[in-house]
Structure 1
């Protein structure tokens, strides 16, 4: 178990920097470590569909600086993906964000997801790593795990190792993270704060077939991206058109069969009348 961080008196809000003072540009972190780190967050964002919050009350981001300590305003972490609910989609309702400054926003993320990279295990997993790192040196920034657990107190923290498809879920319980059991044959968890599930979906995204983290509903149905919704609507429209065409064809066939039956009946009646006349019988004056 990690040691709690001692609380310090906070500076006044007027003295603290805001997002405009704390951007995400960092020459020491030039880019994403691999393609997965760029694609997976896109799928998470595209399939995120909350029923308890409107789109204007949701902010999610990846590879964006998350400033967390008003006593050390230059300290930040850069989550691979995080979600905040109950906050304006735009900064102060006006502009897109260049970073997320927790003391300025007054709302912390409800979930953070990290994708393990070579060398980040101890930073991401803290005491749950195979080789936990030493406690942070006084005056130095703590690890991501410590920040998420003890400073921001994020209720849901997930770590995914893409090479071996291992998903780990940490839930904040009494101020500390407890790892939650996940059935290996069904990598699916439920996030109560947002009423959504998250699981491992085997499919193709951006032309790449492999397992991906993806949101689902309470019944385990995968939530669709906008492109998938459009394709589904077009497919349903195509099927409806085909069904309408089949109905029309069946109606035409039924009318043709009715016409032919009527024509055959008329021909049979004409033959019968011709026969009766050949026998000297007037078909129009048959005895009753």
Structure 2
């Protein structure tokens, strides 16, 4: 016998994508479609004029190991670029991670795409917990000294850029259409 399923409740009763969790609190910042498309766009458009394309490594969601005294500590930026290194590891292999002490070159720019689960850390609003790795902000600003740090909040359509001046990030006035 053929059974007919009861009709679904009206759309207004069911939760929408805005109502349902998209992030596991134990693993904040899980990628959504925006976190897939935006890094692709950055990869395709980042072209530093003084470097050949073979001397620019760009990546997204790839572990960035930064401290040889704590070799298991890493950050995982949404997107970052390193200039002056081969796109390929030792010129021949795709990278599984980026290890600063092995490469000898720090990232030139880091971009974080804000999400509710990572916003405070991305903006340097979390304090470091004793006996834990430093925050992203501390790593980018004080350890790696990344010259440019950019954050984008797609929910408010806000782009913020910071430039390393002396030993601290200073927010850049983005009145100009280019950075």
2:164 partner SS: strand
Which residue of 137, 142, 148 maps to 1:145? Answer: 137
**Structure 2: which 5+ runs fail to align?**
1-25
- Within 1, Cα distance between the matches of 2:88 and 2:51? 15
Higher helix share: 1
Which residue of 158, 166, 171 maps to 1:179? Answer: 171
User: How much has 1:30 moved relative to structure 2?
Assistant: 9.5
User: How much has 1:56 moved relative to structure 2?
Assistant: 1.2
TM-score by length of 2: 0.81
How many aligned positions are there?
A: 154
- Within 1, Cα distance between the matches of 2:173 and 2:95? 35
User: How much has 1:58 moved relative to structure 2?
Assistant: 0.7
TM-score by length of 1: 0.51
* Map of 1:246 onto structure 2: none
1:189 partner SS: coil
* Map of 2:178 onto structure 1: 189
* Map of 2:119 onto structure 1: 121
Structural mapping, 1:14-29, within 5 Å? none
Are residue 108 (structure 1) and residue 138 (structure 2) matched?
Answer: no
User: How much has 1:46 moved relative to structure 2?
Assistant: 1.2
Note if contact 2:148-2:163 (Cα within 8 Å) is conserved in structure 1.
Answer: yes
User: How much has 1:31 moved relative to structure 2?
Assistant: 8.0
**Structure 1: which 5+ runs fail to align?**
1-27, 127-131, 191-288
* Map of 1:93 onto structure 2: 91
Note if contact 2:109-2:149 (Cα within 8 Å) is conserved in structure 1.
Answer: yes
Superposition RMSD on alpha carbons, in Å? 1.7
- Within 2, Cα distance between the matches of 1:32 and 1:150? 26
Cα deviations by residue, 1:265-288 (Å, 9 ceiling, x for unpaired): xxxxxxxxxxxxxxxxxxxxxxxx
User: How much has 1:87 moved relative to structure 2?
Assistant: 0.5
Are residue 41 (structure 1) and residue 34 (structure 2) matched?
Answer: no
Larger radius of gyration: 1
* Map of 2:126 onto structure 1: 133
User: How much has 1:73 moved relative to structure 2?
Assistant: 0.6
- Within 2, Cα distance between the matches of 1:107 and 1:133? 27
- Within 2, Cα distance between the matches of 1:125 and 1:51? 29
In structure 2, the CA distance between the partners of 1:30 and 1:113, relative to structure 1 (3 Å rule), is: closer
Are residue 71 (structure 1) and residue 69 (structure 2) matched?
Answer: yes
Note if contact 1:33-1:117 (Cα within 8 Å) is conserved in structure 2.
Answer: no
Q: Which runs of 4+ in 1 moved over 6 A?
A: none
User: How much has 1:153 moved relative to structure 2?
Assistant: 0.2
Are residue 162 (structure 1) and residue 162 (structure 2) matched?
Answer: no
